[in-house]
Structure 1
Amino acid sequence: MLIKSADDKSKRLALLEDLQQSSLLDTRQKDWLRDELRRCKAGMEGERAAAFYLDGHYKDGQNNVLLHDLRFLVDGEVAQIDHLVINRTGYMVLIETKNYSGDLEVNAHGEFTVRYGRDRYGIPSPYEQSRRHARILGKLLERLEISTRTDKLPEFHNVVMMHPQAIFERPDPKAFDTSFLIKADQFPSWHEKLVDGIGTGGIFKALFNVRSPDTIKEWGEKLKRQHRPADLLALPDFMQPKPHLAQVAQIPKPAAPAPIAAPAAAAPVDADASLAKKLICAHCRAKISFPEGKFCWAKAERFGGLQYCREHQGLFA
């Protein structure tokens, strides 16, 4: 049964796309913005593809509980679990989704590399990342008193799930076992093998730990309440407008001839207070985006409680 769907990340995507139009970004900011936008789009696409197959397999079932897009804070550590499956027989599957635009390689030492044409880049192991999240999840389960009938933590199984069209190379399984690495459309088959393996290795243990659908639903609801979504509008400190670029933006540009002369813009100190908390620049009266307004409202002392477009925020540098 489905307990939690993925959070809506459209605000994050809109913010990044809006920032691309700014004339106040330096080279480092532009590079970060381009990479972050690519990561955001790829991540959302990978999660959607995985959720499509997982929902089809678990949404209407009673033996498993499914939660998408969980973020837990435990003792200052963060666990971001893309998908979590809770089974009635006392195990949980943590699924880490990845959607690389290049081909993935895994060598005999468990090292991950992404290949873009002739270029190759080493990346952190998503499998080890999932195992760290399992450790943090274990702490949370203890505090929520979620355990098997033998008062032990549920068994954790970690999966790295790729897009169905992904291409990756594996090492010899005798050198390094990559059975945890699957494509999204292969998950039902992978899960059947897991269940068969549990039955072969400890069917009596599994039957002893079996819980009712209501119990695992209650576990899922408890974990859903512990979800702490990230701030979708947060940006690194270095992404704030640069003062010297803001000053350049203040240089007046020759106005194009117009049938009716536009009224002179008021100085910031004379801004109309009635515009407060509206998505309108208090200096030039142009429409602004929500992130621009939020940036100014969070710095009320600097902007006098009003809001300005990115170009005229520089007037207060």
Structure 2
Amino acid sequence: MIIKQVDSKTKDLEVLEQLLQRSDLTQQVRQNIEQKIRLIRAGIKGEAESAYQLQFHFGNHPDWVIIHDLRLQYQSKVAQIDHILINRQLQIFVCESKRIAGGLIVNEQGEFSRMYKGKGQGIPSPLEQNQRHISILNKLLQTNQIQLPSRFGWRLRPSIHSLILVSNEAYIRRPKNFVSGLDRVIKNEQLKTKVHQLSKHLGIFSFIRTVPRASLEKFARQLTQQHRPAQYDWLGYFGLDHLARKIDQPATESQIQTENQSKIDSHYFCISCHKNITASAAYYCWNHKSIFGGKAYCYQCQQKIKQQQQ
């Protein structure tokens, strides 16, 4: 049973495409917007490929439920989970989709990189990323916001498994030595086999651990109610807050003079790499204290912090 489908990204893509039509963008900002559009579209393709496998094998199965595109918040932390698969034994599979057009490479230290235009490019570990998602999910399950199913008066604790789903056309180069968790990095086509391997029969405990289908659905819907859709301030994201005023109404001569004087008198820099940044970039960070901790960062460092929190 499918409890939640993927949220549409159409509106965000439309806003970004409209931004690209502006003639007053710097070349760097234009390239950043184009890159973000490519990433969103690649993410849509990757999630769609994984969603197809999940729905083909488990979508009509009465003992499984599927949740797509679940964004959870716990205190100041956020988990953007691509897919969740749950069975009646409360075995939860948290799936992270990765659209890799070329190759995914893992070295002996468990560090990840991808082949891009014939060159290796380091990327954040999807295993670590998914573990952060699972950590936030675990903390939410320990609150009273979600009522865990019970059997014979006992609250059942879910068992959670991490899966990294890589596009089928990609190749995965693994190290010769053992790296913990690397067996959870699989291609989409291997999903069914891996899930059945991990969700082994519980033997004599199967009856005790198996919840009614209605309880499974209720649990999944409670989890879906915790979904907090992302609201992107794309102007602020790219340090273009000043365009909002231009769109709403023309600036007066005194406003322009004040703004120009502010640019001369004020100096902003990234707390991480110490590069000079615009006032808009600094204000964007300060207005998103839950992400940046009240510190100002340049665009590149902002992206690194956001990736670490995913």
- Sort the TM-score into its range (normalised by shorter chain): 0.7 to 0.9
Q: Indicate the residue corresponding to 2:148 in structure 1.
A: 146
**Identity rate, percent:** 31
Q: Deviations over 1:108-155 (max 9, x none)?
A: 221100112432111111111111111100111122132665535311
Question: Aligned pair 1:60/2:55, yes or no?
Answer: no
- 1:102 is displaced (CA, Å) by 3.1
**AA partner of residue 203 (structure 1):** G
- 1:175 is displaced (CA, Å) by 4.6
Q: Indicate the residue corresponding to 2:175 in structure 1.
A: 171
The verdict on how the C-alpha distance between 1:19 and 1:109 changes in structure 2, with shifts beyond 3 A counting, is same
Give the structure-1-normalised TM-score: 0.72
* Structure (1 or 2) with the larger CA radius of gyration: 1
The verdict on how the C-alpha distance between 1:50 and 1:237 changes in structure 2, with shifts beyond 3 A counting, is closer
Give the structure-2-normalised TM-score: 0.74
Tell me, in whole angstroms, the C-alpha distance in 2 between the residues paired with 1:212 and 1:158. 24
Task: List aligned pairs for 1:1-317, cutoff 5 A.
Answer: 1-143=1-143, 144-146=146-148, 149=151, 150-151=154-155, 153-172=157-176, 174-176=178-180, 178-195=182-199, 198-199=200-201, 202-232=202-232, 234-240=234-240, 295=244, 307=248, 317=256
Hey, which bits of structure 1, 4+ residues long, moved more than 6 A? 312-316
- 1:204 is displaced (CA, Å) by 3.0
Tell me, in whole angstroms, the C-alpha distance in 1 between the residues paired with 2:47 and 2:66. 14
Cα RMSD after superposing both structures? 2.4
Count of residues in correspondence between the two structures: 251
- 1:188 is displaced (CA, Å) by 1.0
Unaligned 5+ runs, structure 2: 257-310
What is the DSSP-based 3-state SS (H/G/I as helix, E as strand, rest coil) of the residue aligned with 2:234?
coil
Tell me, in whole angstroms, the C-alpha distance in 2 between the residues paired with 1:26 and 1:172. 46
What is the DSSP-based 3-state SS (H/G/I as helix, E as strand, rest coil) of the residue aligned with 1:236?
helix
Contact 2:106 2:175 in 1 (8 A): yes
What is the DSSP-based 3-state SS (H/G/I as helix, E as strand, rest coil) of the residue aligned with 1:37?
helix
- 1:162 is displaced (CA, Å) by 1.2
- 1:73 is displaced (CA, Å) by 0.8
Contact 2:46 2:167 in 1 (8 A): yes
**AA partner of residue 7 (structure 1):** D
Unaligned 5+ runs, structure 1: 244-294, 296-301
